[in-house]
Chain A
Amino acid sequence: MAKLSKLQTATLPDAVLDRRQAVPALIERPGDFLMVAGLAGTAWELSALTHESPSLFGLGGAMGAAPMMGLGLALAQPKRRVLVATGDGELLMNVGALATIALQNPPNLTIICVDNGHYGETGNQDSHTGLGVRLDVIAAGCGFPVVHVINTEADMAEGRRLVREGGGLSFILLRVTDGPATHDGKKNLVPHIERDRFRAALLG
């Protein structure tokens, strides 16, 4: 039977953090940000975290959209802090977006990849990152000026500082175990309602 092996270059330790605690602990004060969340786990958990805030645009499809939506939003709103939260599968689908974003270098944008190493919604297959592909190295190679990996609780304080203060375009790889995301937010994100809510809250 075909089996995929871990890359020989895989050097990161096994993930230990539970996303249900780690994501809220990292973002801390979601009301301070404009946010875009990628489909599935991250959209649900941010929807729950923000109590369905209109400052969150959550995706239920269009896989790969979140980072580039964040770029368009960050350029349009240079005085606001913009957070993108997305899974490893979504980021991998459009990984070239990291190169596009780094060239623009918006200082008000932070991309958080909640990396559980799996395609959690489709049967928990290993993702490329679960087998050792290094998104943090890709982000650094694309030219992100700030890249931070959170493997354990000890790495969280610096992650929180980056989320809060920015200090330039940043990429945070939050490595979590493959347990379920918090899922008591909205079950069905209706895209045109998400858009109208977001724009009404931001633009009046």
Chain B
Amino acid sequence: MPDAITKDTWPSALYDLLQANGVSQFCYVPDAGHKVLIDRSLADPDVHSIPLTTEEEGVAMVAGADLGGQRAVLLMQSSGVGNCINMLSLTQGGRFPFLTLVSMRGEYGEGNPWQFAMGQAVEPVLKAMGVIVLRAEHPAEVITAVSAAITMAFQSGQQVAVLLTQRLIGAKKF
């Protein structure tokens, strides 16, 4: 039986899950919450690791990857969701499979007042643009939530975000 997922092991297990499901383009604006995924994608010769200048680039890139028959994931912080809004017209209108993992700020235990406006707007903004939102609050939920999202995106052609919440990744005090 595999070891139980803990707060230390979920990021690497999450990378293994994405890779095992054929995700081969990892697009991201760097964020501490995604450090393990970013580092592992950079070290992996079998995938493309794509740093972006702004998150909306990643929405378009995910769609382009799908046109070419590859699976992509967009990794971003909650503030980046706001940068994606109009570009989500593409994934919604084109019915592109879209998977994004959002590391949250501006919620549970947040110590930086600047983070609240966008952090609290993440769910309504995503839903307004047709993106289904799942949440992972505890290490044990990460793999099950992202597994569900992978099926919804790549099998059912939906646009899905999994929020990696501050309960999961830890609140910042700054």
Report whether A68 and B70 are in contact in the complex, using a CB–CB cutoff of 8 Å. no
Taking CB atoms, residues of chain B closer than 8 Å to A65 are: 59-60, 63, 87, 90
Report whether B52 and A76 are in contact in the complex, using a CB–CB cutoff of 8 Å. no
**Docked pose: A97 CA to B69 CA in angstroms:** 21
A36 nearest in chain B by CB position = B64
User: Which of B51, B62, B89 contacts A72, CB < 8 Å?
Assistant: B62
**Docked pose: A191 CA to B62 CA in angstroms:** 15
Binary interface profile of A, 28-65, with partner B (CB < 8 Å = 1, else 0)?
A: 00000010100000000000000000000101011111
The B48-96 residues at the A interface (CB cut-off 8 A) are 48, 50-54, 56-70, 72, 86-87, 89-90, 93-96
B89 nearest in chain A by CB position = A62
Report whether B64 and A72 are in contact in the complex, using a CB–CB cutoff of 8 Å. yes
From A12-20, A132-140, A149-157, A192-200, the one touching the partner chain is A192-200
A78 nearest in chain B by CB position = B68
Report whether A64 and B60 are in contact in the complex, using a CB–CB cutoff of 8 Å. yes
A80 nearest in chain B by CB position = B68
Report whether A72 and B61 are in contact in the complex, using a CB–CB cutoff of 8 Å. yes
In the assembled complex, B25 has its CB within 8 A of some CB on chain A: yes
A190 nearest in chain B by CB position = B93
Q: Given contacts A65-B87, A68-B60, are A195 and B54 in contact (CB under 8 A)?
A: no
Q: Given contacts A65-B60, A72-B60, A192-B94, are A104 and B67 in contact (CB under 8 A)?
A: no
Report whether A199 and B57 are in contact in the complex, using a CB–CB cutoff of 8 Å. no
**Docked pose: A57 CA to B72 CA in angstroms:** 18
Taking Cβ atoms with an 8 Å cutoff, the residues of B that contact A are 25, 48, 50-54, 56-70, 72, 86-87, 89-90, 93-96
* Distance (whole angstroms) from the CB of A202 to the closest CB of chain B: 7
Q: How many contacting A-B pairs (Cβ < 8 A)?
A: 116
Report whether B95 and A192 are in contact in the complex, using a CB–CB cutoff of 8 Å. yes
Q: Given contacts A75-B48, A103-B51, are A68 and B61 in contact (CB under 8 A)?
A: yes
User: Which of A68, A100, A194, A202 contacts B94, CB < 8 Å?
Assistant: A194
A66 nearest in chain B by CB position = B60
Taking CB atoms, residues of chain A closer than 8 Å to B25 are: 72, 75-76
Report whether A100 and B67 are in contact in the complex, using a CB–CB cutoff of 8 Å. no
B57 nearest in chain A by CB position = A68
Taking CB atoms, residues of chain B closer than 8 Å to A181 are: none
Taking CB atoms, residues of chain A closer than 8 Å to B62 are: 72
Taking CB atoms, residues of chain B closer than 8 Å to A69 are: 60-61, 63-64, 67
Which among B52, B60, B95 has the greatest number of chain A C-beta atoms within 10 A? B60
Report whether B57 and A61 are in contact in the complex, using a CB–CB cutoff of 8 Å. no
A203 nearest in chain B by CB position = B69
Report whether A62 and B87 are in contact in the complex, using a CB–CB cutoff of 8 Å. yes
**Docked pose: A154 CA to B19 CA in angstroms:** 49
B58 nearest in chain A by CB position = A68
In the assembled complex, A99 has its CB within 8 A of some CB on chain B: yes
**Docked pose: A75 CA to B61 CA in angstroms:** 10
Taking CB atoms, residues of chain A closer than 8 Å to B60 are: 62, 64-69, 72, 94, 97
